[in-house]
Amino acid sequence: MMRYFISFVLINLSLFSFSQKKSYDFTLTFGSCSKQNIPQPLWKDIMGTNPDVFVWGGDIIYADSDDMTKIEQDYTIQKNKPEYQELLNSVPVIGTWDDHDYGKNDAGKEWSKKEESQQLFLDFFDVPKDSPRRKQSGVYASRIFKTKKGSIKIITLDTRYFRSPLKNSTSPDRRYEPYQNGEGTVLGEEQWQWFEKELEANYSDFIVIVSSIQFLSSEHGFETWGNFPHEVQKLKKMLIDKKVRNAIVLSGDRHISEFSTTQIKGLKYPLIDFTSSGLTHSYSDYKGESNKYRVGNVVSVPSFGVLYFDFDSNTVTMQMKGQKNIVLQELEKQYPKD
């Protein structure tokens, strides 16, 4: 029987400042929820990790408007931040959007300005005007990063453009309720077909799936894949059927950071959903919520996520980091090599 190694380390952020000494083969940094008009102190710390890529997990800006001029101006404010420019000029920056850069809080396919908003999103990432992404519906994409020892495929999903309207809850403790009987969709038929093909092309050592909303945590009553339980099962089944190696989910949205993990029968490794949110502000008055998949504690101060890949041992060290590169929480996972 194959044994899986997962170690969890909680670090007292008031006592310990972390210095990355080990040399890793690839460093992925990511984050979400960044207000363009307030201080953004974490970019210097992100650069301090010597990243090979930065991945936006959504809410790049807080625009919340049907005025495309405003959204464009907000993107310009964000893009012109000197510290962000340093990152942008040093490493590849990719990502997806969430509701506040999409244009409306919690909006899905019903948003009337989604086509115009998509073009501004692509402008922010300097996507060429003749790119096929300019003509497709939705901002989903994938990119492979190769090293001398292995490769990582990053798939950025669009959980906005095709997502069915959410089902409002009558409970005062919840905003939304899950759909039943297979109703509704997160990704939509077109994106699901594309996603399946991306998973079929399963040649990389690791597959990183970026979802702006949480995939595993579903008990809190806010936005989550869990509002569409049949879509959760569909993705899990696809990972099994396509024999996807070493998949990791990255998510944002919640203004908290946490690790969630589950063992899926048919996969050779536990599936981890690493939530990192937010970069400039957080759920500072967080009092607690249920998440049966949670490993460790919730971090409710501004932070960003780091994944250090070691291809020799096939180990990924995942960290939530705050200002001065303090490690707030860590999860290490060794993955199978076949």
pLDDT tens track for 226-243: 999 999 999 999 999 999
Domain assignment present for residue 255? The answer is yes
Q: How confident is the model at residue 3 (pLDDT cuts 50, 70, 90)?
A: very low
pLDDT at res. 47: 98
**Count of other CB atoms within 10 angstroms of residue 285:** 6
In a domain, 16, yes or no: no
Which range of residues forms the domain containing residue 134?
26-334
Whether residue 7 is contained in a domain is answered as no
pLDDT digits over 282-312, tens only?
A: 999 999 999 999 999 999 999 999 999 999 9
pLDDT at residue 5 above 60?
no
Residue 212, judged by CB atoms within 10 A of its CB (0-12, 13-18, 19+), counts as buried
Q: Express each pLDDT in 76-97 by its tens digit.
A: 999 999 999 999 999 999 999 9
Domain count, the chain: 1
Q: How far is CA 327 from CA 16, 130, 131, 272, 313, in A?
A: 8, 42, 39, 19, 22
In 3-state terms, what secondary structure has residue 330? Answer: strand
Domain presence at residue 10: no
Is residue 32 included in any domain, yes or no?
Answer: yes
pLDDT in tens, 181-198: 999 999 999 999 999 999
* Residue 25 · residue 305 · CB < 8 Å: no
In a domain, 17, yes or no: no
Look at residue 21 in the predicted model and tell me its pLDDT.
53
CATH number, residue 284: 3.60.21.70
d(CA 26, CA 307) in angstroms, rounded, equals 8
Burial (Cβ within 10 Å: 0-12, 13-18, ≥19) of residue 127: middle
Looking at the domain assignment, is residue 6 inside a domain?
no
What's the average model confidence in pLDDT over 192-219? Answer: 97
- Tell me the pLDDT band of 262, cut-offs 50, 70 and 90: very high
Give percent of the chain above pLDDT 90.
Answer: 92
Beta-bridge mates of residue 5? 334
Q: Is residue 275 part of a domain?
A: yes
How far apart, in whole angstroms, are the C-alpha atoms of residue 70 and residue 255?
24
pTM over 0.75: yes
